Chain A
């Protein structure tokens, strides 16, 4: 990088040295001098709309706006002169002309920039005697936001966010002059995965969130610095609670991780805690029904059955991805030291690796990457905040984005789409790595294209979904090759669960201990455990924070296993499809009700604080396993104290001797690296599960805040196939595989490849895993449901 020139300037008589090109407002910030701003936001381009930031600059004939004026050598800036004060007073008087006196009922009241700056710089009274301009109040702007047009001061932060940061450009200013309004086309809904951020950056109370509407005032709230665990990005946020109930979440900027934004799934997923579906006490199955029981009873029963099964070597533990690092560590201690088995696996989904073995990248690396390769990972749905970085890199730095996968996803920025069946990606990557190494010409138009892109790019980041082992190692080879020729690059693996990488790192895999230390005898993987259970070879299963009945690719196997295992204990926050099969259900604390650490997809371990107390009969997962350990006469192995667990974990990790390169988690024997060939006759269709941000069981299913955004389970066909099958948009179809069938409404378009059908994943009402086998492949026949008479008429 070229050396940035530094310039020296005087702000209010104080000297400050900043890089050339810095904005005056930012330079003042370094001195701790606050210049009021409304339209300016550090993450967005300056526009100079609101004029509140006027400052006096020597030799400039008029006051200048600090938010768009860049510093120059020897500049003399005054931010507190009488002239500036007068200008601010004037600007505020104008801003307040039509601003309603809503402060007592406004959700922003108490943390409102307009309120604060008016108190600090504004005039005491308005000279306006005419009636104020009236605009619509309580405008329903979509599933998450209420807009009060009267309060809006037209700073356009929200529209610029939607334009510059989210790159979606649906929220705009309509009309003009004093009639300007914030809106969408034809008053439609503002639907975005990031809509909640606009409520936060709104300097007034114009955009307010429905979830928080009139529930508290800012001074009522207690704050806890937490980390979102809805996906594997690990955005930092603050959880605000009142009377021990969570009221809202608020960003807590960590530029290395979230860049100051959070997605709506993360922001609004907390109200499930107060729903009837929330488990508030342990349940024990008596005479076929799950009934309320005491914690002691649940522990005694589980310890007895699990202990007996473990003594016979017929016990297994599944889960870890929802837990904190400490708890995942406790879970594997419980499995290995208490139950004496290596049958522990956090992977209850298609994902097989939660981390790259080599060349791990950082999220920051996406910012200056000039080629981003997305391999199967649908980042807007699986890691939205990571996707924001990609959007910015593509839109701002003209990074080249290539998506390689079995269907064309809906991305906000232009990308190059390469259709490749999931399994076949590995072959492609091997060929490419070969081509780069030897300079051989790769086969196929796309491969040639990609090879050229790879040659031109200087920094390459690959985003992988960790599903295909061949693709994973081929990617590593590719990056190795690129690094060898002096390029930079790395790999990010998007985790399937919030703490998938943490669970992997602390040893919730059958063949690796904490710190990726290889173990002599590997235990069983999830698939093996479920197969064993289904065949009567396992006596007891303990599942903590996993929902294999819904998410395990081979749903038929998972359900059979859960049904036939003699004893099943599940620790969950809400009733899930898996918990419904259990003999004992423990009510587990949510991430808001405990403290600890989680590891995000780049391997960053972040601490989170406890925001609220758990209901009285709800225990943390660590408390559950340590109670079980005590009941099994091994009280010394475990403790439920997160600090104790964390110091133990650190000690164990430091002592661990990981293989170089890292040993990979054990694969199921059934996993095949290579894809399924499409049925050329198109009698059967290959099923491709498609992740959706708001899909899923458990919390996201029961959260009332997410309910309006919840997708419908859909099957998408390519239009050619739809024609062949005689399916129109919204026609209900039944997809039948060898082990089961689901009935969903159809989408017709071009996102699905010919011969495939895209099915929304993780929808309890139409579980796609009825159609798949353990390695995630499945073929179905499609039968359109008969049209009803009224539909024909």
Chain B
């Protein structure tokens, strides 16, 4: 037999809790209108950075590819044209692809990179309709504006001397 008083109290207590949270700060966010507040070391989509002079940092050494535990990275290097170099030094990443579906966002590529070219940004929203489009090439990975890279990742933006890559 249900005790009607007990039930009524229960409803009131429950509604009181509801009422209390109604006036508290919401724990959900209005995604995508509102940015997702990621932790500082959040590891999201990769980015290939450039030096401030516009040269690509990537030298096509494939160390990220060999470090990758998911085999998600494919790099093909090529020789720089001395008249129109893509990166400092002799070699550059002619092709650079990351299969975002395979990537486990562990960040080892970032660790392995000798020139701090590949970094994981906080961006994570890369849903798409085909698998093909989720294999990111240089068109999607290379930072377009050399100055935005500082905004995208505050860590170690210029800590590596460009000379290391060029051997100078």
Contacts and interface: CB of A to CB of B under 8 A. Distances in A.
Interface of A: 100-102, 104-105, 109, 134, 137-138, 150, 213-215, 217, 219-220
A712 B59 CA distance: 39
B66 A104 contact: no
Closest 9 CB pairs of A and B: A104-B61, A105-B91, A100-B167, A214-B77, A104-B114, A214-B91, A217-B62, A214-B79, A102-B167
Nearest to A110: B66
Contacts of A214: 60, 77-79, 90-91
A138 B90 contact: yes
B77 to A, nearest CB: 4
A100 B168 CA distance: 8
A105 B61 contact: yes
Nearest to B63: A104
A250 to B, nearest CB: 19
Given A214-B77, A214-B91, A215-B77, A105 B62 contact: no
A150 B89 CA distance: 14
A536 B62 CA distance: 61
Nearest to B168: A134
Given A137-B90, A214-B60, A217-B66, A101 B79 contact: no
A466 to B, nearest CB: 44
7 contacts: A104-B115, A105-B61, A134-B168, A214-B60, A214-B91, A217-B61, A217-B66
Contacts of B79: 213-214
A104 B59 CA distance: 8
Contacts of B77: 105, 214-215
B164 interface: yes
A219 B61 contact: no
Nearest to A151: B167
Contacts of A101: 164, 167
Nearest to B62: A217
Contacts of A150: 167
A220 B62 CA distance: 9
A218 to B, nearest CB: 10
Contacts of A217: 61-62, 66
A100 B165 CA distance: 10
Given A213-B79, A214-B91, A215-B77, A137 B167 contact: yes
A220 B78 CA distance: 15
Contacts of B114: 104
Given A105-B90, A213-B79, A217-B66, 19 more contacts: A100-B167, A101-B164, A101-B167, A104-B63, A105-B59, A105-B61, A105-B77, A105-B89, A105-B165, A109-B61, A134-B168, A137-B90, A138-B90, A214-B77, A214-B91, A215-B77, A217-B61, A219-B66, A220-B62
Interface string B157-168: 000000011011
Contacts of A220: 62
A220 B77 CA distance: 12
Contacts of B61: 104-105, 109, 217
Contacts of B63: 104
A468 B59 CA distance: 58
Interface string B77-102: 11100000000011100000000000
A101 B90 CA distance: 13
A119 to B, nearest CB: 15
Interface in B105-137: 114-115
Q: Of residues A137, A213, A214, A220, which shows the largest number of chain B Cβ atoms within 10 Å of its Cβ?
A: A214
B97 to A, nearest CB: 12
Contacts of A134: 168
Nearest to B167: A100
A109 B89 CA distance: 16
Nearest to A213: B79
B113 to A, nearest CB: 9
Q: Of residues B90, B114, B165, which shows the largest number of chain A Cβ atoms within 10 Å of its Cβ?
A: B90
A213 B77 CA distance: 9
Interface string B135-168: 0000000000000000000000000000011011
Contacts of A109: 61
A115 to B, nearest CB: 13
Contacts of B167: 100-102, 137, 150
A363 to B, nearest CB: 38
B110 to A, nearest CB: 15
Contacts of B115: 104
Q: Of residues B66, B78, B79, which shows the largest number of chain A Cβ atoms within 10 Å of its Cβ?
A: B79
A138 B61 CA distance: 17
Contacts of A100: 167
Contacts of B66: 217, 219
A268 B114 CA distance: 32
Nearest to B61: A104
A214 to B, nearest CB: 4
A219 B61 CA distance: 12
Nearest to B94: A214
Contacts of A137: 90, 167
Nearest to A242: B76
Contacts of B60: 105, 214
Nearest to B112: A104
Contacts of B168: 134
A101 B114 CA distance: 10
A246 to B, nearest CB: 15
Interface in B37-77: 59-63, 66, 76-77
B57 to A, nearest CB: 11
Nearest to B89: A105
Nearest to B59: A105
Contacts of B59: 104-105
A213 B78 CA distance: 8
Nearest to B87: A105
Contacts of A219: 66
